[in-house]
Amino acid sequence: MSAVASGAAGAGAAGRRPSLTRRTIHYYWQATRRHLGLFVLLIATTVGFCGLLSYGNPYVMSLIVDRVSAEPVAADEVLAAFGPSIAALIAINAGGLACSKLQDYAFWKLQIAVNYDLATMAFDALSNQSMTFHSNRFGGTLVSQTTKFINGYTQMINNLTFPFLPVICSVVFTCALLAPVVPLYTAVLMALLAVYGVISYVMYKRILHLNEKAAGAQNQLSGELSDAVTNILAVKTYGREDYERGLFDRANREVVARDSQRMRASLARGIITAAITLVIMSVVTVFIAGGNAWFGITPGTVVIMFTYTYTVTNQFNFINQGLQRFNQAFGEASGMTAVLDEPRLVADAPGARPLVVECGDIEFKGLSFWYSDGGARTQVFDDFNLRIPAGQRVGLVGMSGAGKTTLTKLLLRLADIQEGEILVDGQNVADITQQSLRRQIAYVPQEALLFHRTIAENIAYGRPDATEGEIREAARQANALEFIEALPQGFATVTGERGVKLSGGQRQRIAIARAMLADAPILVLDEATSALDSESEAAVQEALGRLMAGRTSIVVAHRLSTVASLDRIVVLDHGRIVEDGPHAELVERNGEYAGLWSRQTGAYLG
């Protein structure tokens, strides 16, 4: 990312900062309220644990101290005098420990359940976004943002459980128990704590944007790493390790700079709040030292004054760390929050129905489409019309940029047209569900799209319920069976990321086997043989011939030999049809297609 783009992104993040935090909380709450019982249990047990152990125990001890200081207790009167207090202490500790264990259960159960929902939410958002969305982003950055979004919830719940709920409990319990006994002291203490809380919150708001910038820098670093690793073959074959290391180092230094800014701001906040803590403890020392003389405070009250004040002050000390973790959580989650807020560029219409294909007739009717990138508009099609009868095999040819691949992507609704209609058996693709549309179209691109899974799983991807025999037959028809069986693990061979363990021809034949097994009525081949050697191309062409039989087929090709035997060839030029007909007829016309054919065959013969 350029400095200008980086700055613009930073400015945009700064402008959306409060909204992003609120939106993050919105998504977290959406997932939490599905498990509201666990959330309520977590809050209740945290309050019970804090109230019983931190405030119940000292209160009972203060009663014991007052009783002991009032008059001596004989040995035979101990149980009578202190029996109720002893029973109360046992009950308080038993209840507190029970709350502690229930708190652990609620915390883990809630975290596991909500993390599942958040992961599903992020996956659905990413998988249902358009190809335009994905082409403008690093895949590694999206993975990193998803992980941070989920981890951010864990941090938030952890912070809520400790220290923020205990802080609220400590303030409430301290007021409730001390205000009736030492109202002046309670008022002064609460005023100082209010100052502490306000200063912490103001500094929290100031530091929030530093956390978002630090998270953005970390995401950029993840993107650089992912880009270099994904394209490691290009890095090595061009000897550009040092160049990529420079890009990575620059992103890494930006992470260090942003983290250092965040560290300095957090330390400054910590020093200020520590000074307020010192003032609070000084006040309590004065009150405790002179409390009995000035206000007639009993020894037991002195005990709970010190204990409660120390507890609430100690809890407030953790607010700094808690706010820092909140900052970090919301900052790191902001990337995925922005993604979740992104409108879907291609979305199913309300009430969209499944596509039903009986014949496979395709019609592009009055189609207009343009790209908008950075405010610039690039027109691709303007009032474009083309009909492909069911079962016809049509080749799309033309110079680069003519709109061939774009047309197939519009058919698949990987992008949406601005005007006109695309009809499949008379059904407008804008009115049907995207999944049902794509399940009726077998798509074989130039670069085979293989998962880091077994060959069998890759072939069966379009039809997961296929039997072993059906997978094997699809591989045979795709001319892939021989090389698959020659592999040490056969169909159980893991292909590697994007199929790197296989050759280009082998990957392409597996992609064709996948299309054969899917058995869709419509077939789209996008430069399916352009990157293959002659021997691999011959095997793939033979397999493609079988695949196209009986199907409405659209074949995008630069190599005209790929489309010469098709029923019909459509020549595109800047989004317009300039020629349309069978190969022999187009060659005889001596037009655009004949010129392309002459150049290719002439170069081949020479």
Question: And the tokens for 326?
Answer: 């909140």
What is the pLDDT confidence band of residue 302, given thresholds at 50, 70 and 90?
confident
**Omega into 389 within 30° of 0, i.e. cis?**
no
Task: State residue 12's pLDDT score.
Answer: 40
Mean pLDDT of 22-41: 96
Instruction: Give residue 456's pLDDT.
Output: 95
pLDDT band, very low/low/confident/very high, at 10 (cuts 50, 70, 90): very low
What does the CA dihedral 596, 600, 603, 606 come to, rounded to 10 degrees? -120
Among 199-213, 264-278, 401-415, 588-602, name the one with the lowest average pLDDT. Answer: 199-213
Torsion of CA 508, 513, 519, 523, to 10 degrees: 10
Q: Provide the pLDDT for residue 350.
A: 92
Which band of pLDDT confidence, cut at 50, 70 and 90, is reported for residue 320? low
Cα 114 to chain center, whole Å?
A: 14
**Per-residue pLDDT tens over the stretch 483-498:** 999 998 999 999 976 6
Q: Which residue in this structure is represented by tokens 């803590």?
A: 277
Sheet containing strand 393-397, strands side by side:
441-444, 522-526, 552-556, 393-397, 568-573, 576-581
Higher-confidence residue of 500 and 422: namely 422
- Other C-beta atoms closer than 10 Å to the C-beta of 195 total 14
pLDDT tens string 240-273: 889 899 989 999 999 999 989 888 887 887 788 7
Q: Where are the alpha helices (DSSP H) in 183-240?
A: 183-230, 232-237
Distance CA 343, CA 75 (A): 77
* β-pairing verdict for 441-444 and 522-526: parallel
- What CA–CA distance (Å, rounded) separates 194 from 188? 10
Q: pLDDT tens digits for 531-582?
A: 556 666 677 778 888 889 889 999 998 888 889 999 999 999 999 999 999 9
Task: Check: CB of residue 341 under 8 Å from CB of residue 12.
Answer: no
Compute the distance between CA of residue 606 and CA of residue 591 in angstroms, rounded to an integer. 22
Q: Give whole-number Cα distances, 483 to 146, 479, 502, in Å.
A: 38, 8, 10
Write the pLDDT tens digit of every residue in 359-410: 999 999 999 999 877 667 889 999 999 999 999 999 999 988 899 999 999 9
DSSP 575: T
Model confidence pTM above 0.85: no
Residue 578 CA to residue 239 CA, distance in Å, equals 44
Separation CA 519–CA 262 (nearest Å):
56
Q: What mean pLDDT, rounded, does the chain reach?
A: 86
Question: Quick check: 394 and 553 in contact, CB under 8 A?
Answer: yes
Secondary structure of 424-477 in HEC code, one letter for each residue: ECCEEHHHECHHHHHHCEEEECCCCCCCCCEHHHHHHHHCCCCCHHHHHHHHHH
Phi/psi for 515 (5° steps) reads: -65, -40
In a 13 Å sphere around the CA of 345, the CA atoms on its Cβ side amount to 19
What are the structural domain ranges in the chain?
A: 23-341
What's the pLDDT at 547? 85
Residues 142-192: pLDDT tens digits?
Answer: 888 999 999 999 999 999 998 889 989 999 999 998 898 888 888 988 888
Q: Are 583 and 408 within 8 A, CB to CB?
A: no
CATH of domain 23-341: 1.20.1560.10
| CA–CA gap between residue 212 and residue 167 (Å, rounded) | 26
What are the distances in angstroms from CA 225 to CA 150, 220, 231, 344, 494? 21, 9, 10, 27, 24
Burial class for 473, CB neighbours closer than 10 Å (0-12, 13-18, 19+):
middle
Q: What angle do CA 134, 138, 142 make, to 5 degrees?
A: 80
- Rounded distance between C-alpha atoms, residue 545 and residue 512, angstroms: 11
d(CA 425, CA 327): 54
* Residue of 2 and 139 predicted with greater confidence: 139
Q: What is the 3-state secondary structure (H, E, C) of 316-331?
A: HHHHHHHHHHHHHHHH
Q: What is the reported pLDDT for 604?
A: 39
